[in-house]
């Protein structure tokens, strides 16, 4: 089993061979004892601007396997590589219907891929379009204001992550994370995502990868049906027995519900059917844009502009004594703020970057946590809270999918809109707006606190010329569809709530891992 040697500090220009030499020296290993060695992970340490450097992990395979334990016991910096291979337990229990997946974002996609690879031939329904058509539809909305409520930034092949930075970072610690990354590379993603501590795939690469995954599923006998929303559920004796899409009924042994955080109509239908749903906290706010060069200067100091350094990115947070938090989220270096509405008469913003992250502006969500004390305790109260904010923004900005905007100076001091603002990247255009009229006072005040706090941590954050574009409301699902230890709904057998929309993930990787876990559980329960 390979061994990982961690915490290898190296200068920015230190090459791969020297990094490996440093790792071997650290563990008193000789080249003759090693059959293979390579860089496993690389992270950037920019905490001190006078000492910016990389920190590497090196993976080594030893010629003598007996040495592995000795090396790991002797050196605190060494550990074994956790296996990320799937080892499914395949049931012999005959099933009486199809394995159906609703939604073809990361959760549904990886559930479908794993099931297909083990002979289950899943039937997948996606409300939106295949990626080729979806890209055209989204651009029609961005340039002309024609919104397709079934296929947009939120709905369609690849899910909401397709039009994002394609971040592949996650807070969960699971060997399946590596499995997902390796599958992405197998499907055409840049190999470097395997070794970066903060990998991203970029919206441009992600579009090709999701198409490749779809083609793999189909080649293995699975079905992927686009422009096909599951619009009816038949439940008997608290057991899901069939679903309906486009007027066609399908006997269903298991439904993986991977519908994403914006499937508001479906949440309502599930509630009507008696499926247990509860509200959960989420966050709302705006997108803040700075010049990427200013972000780089704030983070890297004299090293800014060094070609060996990635585009600067940040993650900032602050919590008040009452528990309310303000933080940055989904930061997109060298990217765009994109129109992300999925419902008529509502404005939604999100961030997107291509793989090279080479656009002039950096943007990030600046969001404030909201909970029952803000919107009440009904199951869909959070959903309705966000919806009302989106509709209010639509009206304030002229009812044409332009977005309300203000500069940081005007927002903090309640002053007039500055003439010297950073050019906003939101393609539908922005309208000057008093954010105190858009957001509830508690949220607006907390955003102001965040800007002032974060300016002391990153110099450029509070520049008066920075632009705020609102609202950011789709940070995470406003509901949770509760499930048991078998991953089934606590109220409905054969229903498997999955991914971000069900309240069990937050991002591409964690959603994909959740989809895999459910696929493995279905395999334990039913035969192919």
495 is a domain residue: yes
| 360 plus 493 within the same structural domain | no
**pLDDT, position 420:** 74
Stretch 192-215: mean pLDDT: 96
| 486 plus 458 within the same structural domain | no
Model pTM?
0.96
Given a cut of 90, is residue 416 above it in pLDDT? no
- Distances 345 to 16, 146, 371, 393, 397 between C-alpha atoms, Å: 53, 12, 24, 9, 11
Report how far residue 508's alpha carbon sits from residue 213's, in angstroms, rounded to the nearest whole number: 14
Q: How far is CA 156 from the centre of its chain?
A: 15
Stretch 497-515: mean pLDDT: 97
| 288 plus 418 within the same structural domain | yes
Report the number of distinct structural domains present in the chain: 3
Domain end residue (candidates: 432, 452, 472): 472
**pLDDT, position 422:** 93
Report how far residue 273's alpha carbon sits from residue 489's, in angstroms, rounded to the nearest whole number: 13
Given a cut of 90, is residue 457 above it in pLDDT? yes
**pLDDT, position 195:** 96
Q: Which domain holds residue 47?
A: 3-80
What is the per-residue pLDDT across 120-156, written as a single tens digit (0 to 9) for each?
A: 999 999 999 999 999 999 999 999 999 999 999 999 9
318 is a domain residue: yes
| Average pLDDT, rounded, for the chain | 96
| 436 plus 512 within the same structural domain | no
Q: What is the CATH number of the domain that holds 63?
A: 3.30.70.2700
The band of 414, judged by pLDDT with boundaries at 50, 70 and 90, is: confident
Token reading at 448:
């102001």
**pLDDT, position 72:** 93
| 454 plus 331 within the same structural domain | yes
The answer to whether 400 touches 144, Cβ cutoff 8 Å, is no
**148 — phi, psi (to 5°)?**
-100, 110
Per DSSP bridges, beta strands 467-472 and 230-236 are: unpaired
Given a cut of 80, is residue 415 above it in pLDDT? no
Given a cut of 80, is residue 418 above it in pLDDT? no
**pLDDT, position 421:** 84
88 is a domain residue: no
What is the per-residue pLDDT across 247-297, written as a single tens digit (0 to 9) for each?
A: 899 999 999 999 999 999 999 999 999 999 999 999 999 999 999 999 999
Q: What is the CATH number of the domain that holds 183?
A: 3.50.50.60
Domain end residue (candidates: 14, 47, 80): 80
Stretch 319-340: mean pLDDT: 97
91 is a domain residue: no
Token reading at 344:
């008529």
């Amino acid at each position: 089993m390979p061994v990982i040697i961690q915490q290898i500090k190296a200068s920015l220009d230190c090459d791969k061979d020297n990094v490996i030499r440093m790792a071997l020296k650290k563990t008193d290993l000789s080249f003759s004892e090693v059959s293979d060695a390579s860089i496993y992970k690389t992270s950037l340490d920019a905490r001190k601007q006078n000492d910016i450097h990389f920190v590497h992990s090196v993976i080594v395979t030893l010629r003598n396997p007996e040495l592995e334990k000795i090396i790991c016991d002797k050196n605190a910096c060494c550990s074994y590589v956790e296996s990320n291979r799937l080892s499914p337990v395949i049931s012999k229990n005959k099933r009486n219907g199809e394995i159906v997946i609703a939604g073809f974002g990361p959760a549904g996609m990886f559930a479908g891929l794993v099931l297909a690879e083990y002979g289950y031939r899943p039937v997948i329904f996606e409300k939106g379009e295949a990626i080729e058509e979806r890209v055209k539809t989204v651009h029609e909305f961005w340039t002309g204001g024609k919104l397709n409520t079934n296929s947009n930034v939120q709905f369609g092949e690849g899910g909401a992550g397709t039009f994002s930075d394609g971040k592949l970072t996650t807070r969960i610690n699971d060997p399946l994370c590596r499995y997902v990354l390796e599958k992405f590379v197998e499907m055409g993603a840049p190999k470097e995502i395997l070794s970066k501590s903060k990998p991203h795939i970029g919206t441009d690469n992600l579009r090709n990868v999701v198409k490749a995954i779809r083609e793999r599923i189909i080649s293995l006998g699975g079905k992927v049906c686009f422009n096909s929303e599951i619009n009816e559920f038949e439940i008997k004796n608290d057991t899901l027995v069939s679903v309906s899409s486009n007027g066609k009924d399908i006997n269903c042994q298991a439904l993986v519900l991977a519908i994403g955080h914006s499937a508001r109509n479906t949440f309502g239908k599930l509630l009507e059917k008696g499926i247990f749903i509860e509200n959960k906290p989420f966050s709302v706010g705006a997108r803040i844009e700075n010049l990427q060069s200013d972000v780089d200067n704030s983070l890297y100091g004299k090293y800014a502009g060094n070609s060996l350094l990635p585009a600067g990115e940040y993650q900032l947070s602050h919590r008040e004594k009452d528990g309310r938090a303000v933080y940055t989220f989904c930061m997109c270096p060298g990217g765009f703020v994109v129109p992300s509405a999925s419902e008529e008469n509502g404005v939604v913003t999100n961030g997107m970057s291509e793989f090279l992250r080479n656009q002039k502006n950096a943007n990030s969500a600046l969001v404030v946590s909201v909970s029952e004390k803000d919107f009440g305790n009904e199951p869909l109260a959070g959903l309705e809270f966000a919806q009302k904010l989106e509709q209010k923004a639509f009206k304030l900005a002229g009812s044409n999918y332009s977005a309300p905007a203000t500069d940081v100076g005007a927002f903090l001091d309640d002053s007039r809109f500055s003439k010297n603002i950073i050019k906003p990247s939101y393609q539908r255009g922005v309208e000057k707006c008093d954010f105190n009229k858009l957001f509830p006072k508690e949220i607006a005040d907390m955003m102001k606190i965040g800007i002032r706090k974060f300016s002391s941590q990153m110099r450029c954050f509070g520049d008066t010329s920075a632009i705020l574009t609102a609202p950011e409301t789709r940070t995470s699902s406003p509901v949770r569809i509760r499930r048991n230890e078998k991953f089934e709904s606590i109220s409905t057998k054969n229903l498997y709530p999955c991914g971000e929309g069900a309240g069990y993930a937050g991002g591409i990787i964690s959603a994909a891992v959740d989809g895999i876990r459910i696929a493995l559980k279905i395999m334990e329960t039913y035969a192919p």
